[in-house]
Structure 1
């Protein structure tokens, strides 16, 4: 074996430390969702207020990720890691002891900053220290971190909340955070590339925050008033205006938060579309299926969470293998399998939406999760191969930011579709309206899956076959 292809124990431990810190943040985020009914009673707030624990968390994480292209160039990896670990630890202690909702939200927002820093840092360590011959394998392992935590979160949160209280969710991760801080302190190395002559673009951060918030707000209007309402139309127009203004500013400004010019690279652009879409489908289904199971099938929260577990575990096992396939055969083969499986799985959910059962959901979800993990890591790996040098941090930041926002948008859009179905339905039956809304969700996900498959085939014949 070529010594250049050997990955040292120190590098493995550094990636492990940062990866598990990111895993912890995502795990807590999704485990809190099952505690919302309890929190409304304990903290005497409405469900709409409690949901900001997730919405605010995801939004701030996305915004922080948008800054990491600059931060990764400005600060050494160890300094970023220690800062993120400290915030995660302090945030956990605040959440555990929070006497009211406001303090709990502050703790969650501190943890959001930690996750927003740790996820891009994990991929940056991989891109900087892992040889090209093993890039697919390690991005596959990193994909496990991102994809497994959301599926395990509801199970972890449900069990802890049932056995003790929601506060113990935070207690359980504190020893792990301390252990990761120690491992990272001794293993993380590297120097920042520097930002000489480049200043931080605060206006871009503000612009992205407004755009991301406006898009979520736009779909919320559809959930409240329907997709054909003037409220939705007005919000959509405002979103387009803000996006146009941001594009104009980014083109004119000499300062750049992220070098969006890398989107001119067609293969990178299409791999980003696949990466975003797969996460949209992944997080979206992990939201819709438990609601469907509890409302339409009358399952309890534990059963609804556990039915996703087989697919999540099998997908996690497959992730590194998919990365290995990418290293050996290139991007087309694993991405083609991914596109086929998620399209088949989404279509099966659509066609069987009226007679889904616990067993059929579990089996179909396995198909979708295998498709997700076949494509998630290779999409990122192939995207990273399209750029070189300092632009890799821009690519890393862009992909990390968009996968995080994909989860937020996936949850938002699919929940809005269910709400809109109830608004337009002549029936007041909650079960029938949930089934109808879920079916519309499955149709949307099937179309998106087909587009992912088409993008893979297009890249192969347009850019890869003749190379």
Structure 2
């Protein structure tokens, strides 16, 4: 039957999806081990943070290449390569005697995640019938959104009961099982890259741009928003982005076909997709810091307060996809934009009187909104392009959602640091509350922008076609 998804396809998506889940889980679980690693490996906190920063940057850059890679290599070959790198990286990290070797293992895992996440969506777009696209994209969204919430809990428990090395021990058997499932279930042929040359210049350019943007915001956290350091690097970053745009328009080679951004609906769905992940990962960083600093709770309580929202959000994700399949994009995206705006605004207005219970409840509202819109934005974005351009759309969306998480953590942490510079006091609790309140204002404005973009698309494009 045309609308039936075969067991083979389900297993192939399951294998690639769980490989992506494993990569993201390890990434976020390592964050809670940083204080331990600084002592065990005898490095500074600034150095050990590159385990996350370097991982996210390399994952983003690898994702930028997948539009070409998905056309060049068969899906099974890509999966085998990614799973092998993830396994080797996990073994290296497990046995690492020092920081450089641990970092090298993490970078191998970054390449694996950078390949597996776009591959997961590519299998969905190519092998799942259009009538079930929203449902399966919603399930894939659960993989991306649930792992960051479970990671700190997994890492914290393992690190408390055993050591940080067991974080990697625990995933090695899973990777081997996924390798076997994927090897025997993943099929398909690459469409080929005839007439397309790989653009090494664009890869280098994107790596420089992504790094410079993060470094620029770091300057605000160290020197303030009005400092010459921040303003100077901001100007340089804008100039580099301009040069890259000029190069990309004139280059005969192709990394990603950025011309798809000329499609207005796709462009606005990408904005929603990016913004939702910015809010999701940013809050998963800010709220535990706020709870531990202002409310004086321990790390376990701070991590567990996000769990109800994450679990409920994971449940509603597939339902949102089903709703998209039956009713279209408007209802789930309108519901999503409304809830994330309400949730962000509640955090803002109650920032000085938040409790562990109120954070849990407000985060519950916000996560339902996130999961209603995250997969739907991707599904509707994929419907705007056809044929080989789906690989470009998939790569672009995967790359930007990955970078959104990195940028969200970076920007919101910088806001807190900058607030401490300008507050005129060294009271850590006061500075954290002040900085977090500004973060909530930023997220409220961003959430409202997402809601407005949904309404604009409907009245400007979709209503005319109905």
The interval holding the TM-score normalised by the smaller chain is over 0.9
SS of equivalent residue, structure 1 residue 426: coil
Number of the residue aligned with 1:106: 104
Aligned pairs (5 A) from 1:374-453: 374-453=372-451
Among 103, 114, 118, the residue aligned to 1:120: 118
The answer as to 2:257 corresponding to 1:255 is no
Aligned pairs (5 A) from 1:15-414: 15-414=13-412
- Counterpart CA distance in 1 for 2:34 and 2:349 is 32
- Counterpart CA distance in 2 for 1:357 and 1:45 is 35
Number of the residue aligned with 1:466: 464
Q: Per-residue deviation at 1:195?
A: 0.3
Q: Per-residue deviation at 1:426?
A: 1.0
The gaps in structure 2 that reach 5 residues or longer are: none
- Counterpart CA distance in 2 for 1:235 and 1:134 is 46
Q: RMSD between aligned alpha carbons?
A: 0.4
- After superposition, give the CA deviation of every residue in 1:356-388 in whole Å (9 maximum; x if it has no partner): 111000000000100000000000000000000
Q: Per-residue deviation at 1:256?
A: 1.1
- Counterpart CA distance in 2 for 1:103 and 1:353 is 42
Q: Per-residue deviation at 1:203?
A: 0.2
SS of equivalent residue, structure 1 residue 353: coil
- Counterpart CA distance in 1 for 2:232 and 2:68 is 34
- After superposition, give the CA deviation of every residue in 1:178-202 in whole Å (9 maximum; x if it has no partner): 0000000110000000001211100
- Counterpart CA distance in 2 for 1:121 and 1:272 is 18
SS of equivalent residue, structure 1 residue 340: helix
- After superposition, give the CA deviation of every residue in 1:53-100 in whole Å (9 maximum; x if it has no partner): 000000000000000000000000000000000000000000000000
Following superposition, which runs of at least 4 residues in structure 1 exceed 2 angstroms of deviation? none
Q: Per-residue deviation at 1:157?
A: 0.4
TM-score (norm 2): 1.00
Instruction: Give the aligned length.
Output: 465
- Counterpart CA distance in 2 for 1:227 and 1:114 is 36
- Counterpart CA distance in 2 for 1:86 and 1:223 is 38
Number of the residue aligned with 1:14: 12
TM-score (norm 1): 0.99
- Counterpart CA distance in 2 for 1:273 and 1:435 is 29
- Counterpart CA distance in 2 for 1:417 and 1:137 is 37
Number of the residue aligned with 1:455: 453
- Counterpart CA distance in 2 for 1:116 and 1:428 is 41
- Counterpart CA distance in 1 for 2:334 and 2:198 is 39
- Counterpart CA distance in 2 for 1:362 and 1:212 is 33
- Counterpart CA distance in 2 for 1:312 and 1:28 is 17
The gaps in structure 1 that reach 5 residues or longer are: none
- Counterpart CA distance in 1 for 2:99 and 2:362 is 38
Q: Per-residue deviation at 1:415?
A: 0.3
- After superposition, give the CA deviation of every residue in 1:284-318 in whole Å (9 maximum; x if it has no partner): 00000000011111111110100000000000000
SS of equivalent residue, structure 2 residue 191: coil
- Counterpart CA distance in 2 for 1:227 and 1:393 is 38
- Counterpart CA distance in 2 for 1:150 and 1:195 is 35
Q: Per-residue deviation at 1:37?
A: 0.4
- Counterpart CA distance in 2 for 1:169 and 1:392 is 35
